[in-house]
Structure 1
Amino acid sequence: MRDSDWVIPPTTLAWLEAVPRERAVAMLIRHSVRADLAPNEVGYTLPITDDGHRLARELGTKLRGRLRAVHASPLLRTVQTGERLAEGAGLADEVSPDRMLGDPGVFVVDDRADATWRSLGHEGVMRRLVEGREILPGCADADAAARALAKHMLAASKRTPGIHAFVTHDSLITATCARLLGEPLTPADWPGYLEAAFFWEEGDGVHVRYRDRRRTLPEPLVDLTEAHVVALARREVGATLGLDCPARFFLAGGVFKTLLTGKPPRDLDIWAATPSDRALVEARLVERGAERLPERPYTQAFRMRGREIEVSLQTEPSVLEERLAGFDLALSSIGAEHSPTDQWRAVVHPLARASASKRQVLLLDELRNWKHALSSLVRLRRYAMELGFEARASDEQRLWALFDQQPPEMRHGMIERFRASASFDPVLAELASRRP
């Protein structure tokens, strides 16, 4: 096709007219026109053509007054497309790079995916992701990944009415739509340049639109089931330690708030099963480019790819269920166990699911680490603020009671333990008003 023959896909324009203007609408859109790729090539540095620039800018002008933000896969052609969309719409904000959209994208979890693509070819991988019957080497569970991406886009849209563009690649749109629409899309259904799928939340669920297909999915799209816990754990471990890490370890704690918020985790908490496993974990992080940070109380910290990774210095208990039983918040008592050769199992405390359904930050019935009650109080309040959940007054009172009922020397030790693991916090000011 000649450059002059390219047009904005009519389906994109039609849905832009049809989607509700009073809602935050995520537009998952393929990049604009590029030159042809060689077979099985990714084309990391391949730009869009002159006509690709023109078309994306033209689409942007049609979004004037409606385009709120642009996110893009870090590859050149997607970033260029995002820039032209923003330029045409008169949007001053920069394009936000988003690796959920590409390089590697939500359907890829580690480097083994390269060999999978070479072995099966682009169409072969696409067909299997669309079908979702198996988890390919280096790839994610397709159904869980599609749901995670939709949750992520809607969270990034922050309920701000208007169009929020997420510029990506044909494979990602096709696999996402196939899994969420529940239809076996064929190569004839793959998106053209600047063709888009649309997602928004309304009273009855999450609305999905692509070409002439539509579906409304009940919320939550992502929940605290074992499948979603393992899917998130594989994605985070694949990006840091690698799924071929030879150690046995647990990923647990706050990372799984992502399943409720759709926002990327800030840090990862890892517990190795044995001292030798901890040595393997730390060596693997250094080998993969992690920066070792100064040792902290109870943990060795690393920084890698926008994450802080804390590896516990303790390796007991060595059973995931026992480890989780020592936590304080129900929503922290969620974990995934990694065994060598990418084997996983997940454990979700029943109170964690109750906490999510009630939208309350619940304490576990038994607080084994009561000496850290002040830190638990901080976490209780922080989780409530981050999730928009209720922190029950009765739970705060329970934690303060644990502190108040101790003899003076024990309270002093609890305060010093809290100071060692926390920066300034309002809890410190509250302590001053309580009896010595």
Structure 2
Amino acid sequence: MALDLLPTSMLHAMDLLPDPKTPVTLFTRHSLREEVKGQGLAGYDLQLTHQGRELAQAWGEYLIANSERRIQHCISSPIQRCIDTAALMIQGADDVSPINTHNIEIVEQGLLVEPGSFVLDIHKAGPYFKRQGALGFINSFVNNALPGMKHPIGGVVDVLELIYNTHPRHSHGLSLAVSHDTIIAAILAIISQRNEVTSEDWPQMMEGLFVWFEGDEFLECQLKWIWRGKLHCLDIAKFNAEQ
């Protein structure tokens, strides 16, 4: 069964979702991709595996069948494995309820990939990524210790505002935001006010966080999210003022 490959945290999170009248966004890493070869960095050309494609479709079907929600919006990194993940999740959801699902547009967003989310100058930041690897690079970014990068809080606020602006506004709504491990790992560390990311913290493929917002203005709202079986809350105004 394809869902056997889904990180168990995601099924546990389903039990913590708010009432279906509260719109939710699933901010997720893409599904299973080809393995990295050579330099050890995940290039833009790596595609989903056959199992990854089956998993994304099965997860989309399960989400709709078990959450009483309908996909209303979808944003994605422009990288093909993310776009494919989004399309397959929508296809799976469509198998359950085609109402308003098969017409969902996947809107590509540069803020969901690097350079774009946090990198301002790839020529300054790029060498650090190659030397430190993904985990080391994200730890340096979280501690605001890299040239050519946004302030960590500013970068996170940019991504959260993007999600807020595409977040469903109607009850029983679900939005998808498909991105990459480095971006999700950094955001989780910063909104959790941690200055260290370990390998155990790293998002698995097809693992993500469910988020929703309480408030009519982004900079005055409360962010709530579910990650690995726990519910968290953040005051955006106080968070943004820490820059």
Q: Which range, TM-score by smaller chain? A: 0.7 to 0.9
CA distance in 2 between partners of 1:44 and 1:217 (Å) = 32
Query: Greater relative contact order: 1 or 2 (C-alpha under 8 angstroms, separation 6 or more)?
Result: 2
CA pair 175-226 structure 1, distance change in 2 beyond 3 A: closer
1:27 and 2:26 aligned? yes
CA distance in 2 between partners of 1:158 and 1:55 (Å) = 24
Q: Secondary structure at the match of 2:110?
A: coil
Letter in 1 for 2:200: A
Residues 16 and 229, structure 2, Cα contact 8 Å, conserved in 1: no
Q: TM-score, normalised by structure 2?
A: 0.82
Deviations 1:384-406 (A, max 9, x none): xxxxxxxxxxxxxxxxxxxxxxx
How many positions carry a matched residue from both structures? 222
Residues 72 and 168, structure 2, Cα contact 8 Å, conserved in 1: no
- Between the aligned residues of both structures, percent identity stands at 26
Q: Secondary structure at the match of 2:184?
A: helix
Q: CA deviation at 1:133?
A: 2.1
1:189 and 2:201 aligned? yes
Deviations 1:235-294 (A, max 9, x none): xxxxxxxxxxxxxxxxxxxxxxxxxxxxxxxxxxxxxxxxxxxxxxxxxxxxxxxxxxxx
Give the match for residue 98 of structure 1. Answer: 109
Q: CA deviation at 1:102?
A: 0.7
Deviations 1:135-186 (A, max 9, x none): 4122221122122212220121152332211111111111101100123331
CA pair 126-100 structure 1, distance change in 2 beyond 3 A: same
The equivalences for 1:78-117 within 5 A come to: 78-90=82-94, 91-92=101-102, 93-112=104-123, 113-117=125-129
Residues 153 and 242, structure 2, Cα contact 8 Å, conserved in 1: no
Give the match for residue 171 of structure 1. Answer: 182
Residues 82 and 178, structure 2, Cα contact 8 Å, conserved in 1: yes
CA distance in 1 between partners of 2:21 and 2:90 (Å) = 20
2:155 aligned residue (129, 139, 145): 145
Residues 3 and 55, structure 2, Cα contact 8 Å, conserved in 1: no
Give the match for residue 52 of structure 1. Answer: 52
CA pair 120-219 structure 1, distance change in 2 beyond 3 A: closer
CA pair 26-135 structure 1, distance change in 2 beyond 3 A: farther
Q: Secondary structure at the match of 2:74?
A: strand
CA pair 81-104 structure 1, distance change in 2 beyond 3 A: same
Letter in 1 for 2:105: E
CA pair 84-11 structure 1, distance change in 2 beyond 3 A: same
Question: Root-mean-square deviation (CA), in Å?
Answer: 2.4
Stretches of structure 2 that go unaligned for 5 or more consecutive residues are 95-100, 216-220
Deviations 1:400-434 (A, max 9, x none): xxxxxxxxxxxxxxxxxxxxxxxxxxxxxxxxxxx
1:122 and 2:126 aligned? no
Give the match for residue 11 of structure 2. Answer: 13
Largest Rg, 1 or 2: 1
Q: TM-score, normalised by structure 1?
A: 0.47
CA distance in 1 between partners of 2:177 and 2:238 (Å) = 19
1:217 and 2:216 aligned? no
Residues 16 and 226, structure 2, Cα contact 8 Å, conserved in 1: no
Residues 157 and 164, structure 1, Cα contact 8 Å, conserved in 2: yes
Q: CA deviation at 1:120?
A: 2.0
CA pair 28-221 structure 1, distance change in 2 beyond 3 A: farther
CA distance in 2 between partners of 1:40 and 1:122 (Å) = 10
Letter in 1 for 2:151: D
Letter in 2 for 1:95: I
CA pair 72-221 structure 1, distance change in 2 beyond 3 A: farther
CA distance in 2 between partners of 1:50 and 1:9 (Å) = 17
Letter in 2 for 1:67: I
CA distance in 2 between partners of 1:97 and 1:152 (Å) = 12
1:43 and 2:55 aligned? no
Query: For structure 1, which segment, 208-217 or 45-54, has the greater mean C-alpha deviation from structure 2 after superposition?
Result: 208-217
Letter in 1 for 2:24: V
Residues 173 and 191, structure 1, Cα contact 8 Å, conserved in 2: yes
CA distance in 1 between partners of 2:36 and 2:117 (Å) = 22
Residues 40 and 117, structure 1, Cα contact 8 Å, conserved in 2: no
2:81 aligned residue (77, 82, 91): 77
